Amino acid sequence: MMKTKVKTMLMSLLMCSVCCAQHIKPRPSFPGGYKALQEFIEKEKKYPDEALKKREEGAVYVVFTVDTLGNVVHPKVATSVSPSLDREALRIVRKMPKWIPSREGNKKINMDFTVIIRFSAPPLPLGPEEHVIRITCNDLAKELEAPADTNKIYDVVETMPSFQGDLTTYLYNETRYPAIAEGTGAEGRAIVTFVVERDGSISRVEVVKSLAFDFAIKITDYMTAEYRQKAKAYNKALQAMDEEAARVIKSMPKWNPGKYHDEVVRVKFTLAVSFKPHKNSHNTK
């Protein structure tokens, strides 16, 4: 009898995992991934003269649809910086090659995607009186510090790991607001730590600041039945957000690994994964 119960529970968990995996639709992808997308943007980007004169800078969010043929259609500015920078961001998006469309099962589907195009005005040239002399002692510090240990997990190194592409664009598009959270009003930021291994892969993913732990509503006997039901739904939503934060970090492509004394080493990294109903409304699972 006990073996039958255990078998039934395992089958239920397996079915749940399969259903959840099938329910998450893959995002449209730029040929070559996020790294290639960022390289394309940087190659095509031309700072408008008008924006340079006015020292305008910032991040333009452009949302568009990738249709079933991979075409980029209906681009529009979701977050504006200035007319000239907005126009340049739209121009870049309209020049993009065909994408790999999203799928639902074996069927290609239309899906929205958001790119974040950043503009930083180059610094103005320094006047003669503004030049300073900087003296560094990096060589001396290297001689005094311990040699690199390739098995150790470092917290800080000379060259920290970096995402291959625009990390904000990745998190914005790949993070899904859990369907179970719809209508609960649940939102917040889960803090996740992970290790960037020497080959750039991600390991040891851990939610260190949990929404479910920090913000769950305590269920008491004094609650009305209606409020208890809402509280339970809210708590389940927070738990689902923690799980989604871990999933999106585990799903990241390989990073550029960190370096210590020019040696590739393992480095611990921390990221915040944000959830808001209006922000992630196009990314609901």
Average pLDDT over residues 131-137: 45
65, two tokens: 């649809």
How many degrees, rounded to 5, is the angle at CA 272 between CA 265 and CA 120? 85
* Closest alpha carbon to 24 in 111, 116, 115: 111
CA neighbor of 196 nearest in space, from 257, 252, 253, 248 = 257
Predicted confidence band at 136 (pLDDT cuts at 50, 70, 90)?
very low
- The pLDDT of residue 24 is 63
The pLDDT tens digits for 2-12 are 444 444 444 44
Q: How far apart are CA 214 and CA 40, in angstroms?
A: 41
- Write out the E strands in the chain: 58-66, 72-79, 102-104, 107-109, 111-119, 153-154, 188-196, 202-209, 258-260, 263-275
| Three-state secondary structure readout of 149-198 | CCCCEECCCCECCECCCCHHHHHHHHCCECHHHCCCCCCEEEEEEEEECC
pLDDT digits (tens, 9 = 90+) for 187-243: 999 999 999 999 999 999 999 999 999 999 999 888 899 998 999 999 999 999 999
CA dist., res. 242 & res. 209, Å (int): 9
CA distance 182 to 38: 32
**Does the pLDDT value for residue 127 go beyond 70?**
no
Report the C-alpha gap between 36 and 98 in whole angstroms.
13
Q: Report pLDDT for 148.
A: 83
Neighbours of 173 (CB within 10 A): 23
CA angle, residues 16, 5, 7, in degrees to nearest 5: 55
Are 260 and 157 in contact by the 8 Å Cβ rule? The answer is yes
In whole angstroms, give the CA distance from residue 117 to residue 95. 14
Question: CA-based Rg of the chain, rounded to a whole angstrom?
Answer: 23
Asked whether the predicted pLDDT for residue 17 surpasses 50, the reply is no
- What residues have CB less than 8 Å from 207, skipping those under 6 apart? 190, 191, 192, 242, 245, 246
Confidence grade of residue 23 (pLDDT, cut at 50, 70, 90):
low
pLDDT at 13: 39
pLDDT per residue as tens digits for the range 80-117: 999 999 999 999 999 999 999 999 988 999 999 999 99
Q: How far apart are the first and last CA of the chain?
A: 36
Which helix (H) or strand (E) element contains residue 23? Answer: helix 2-23
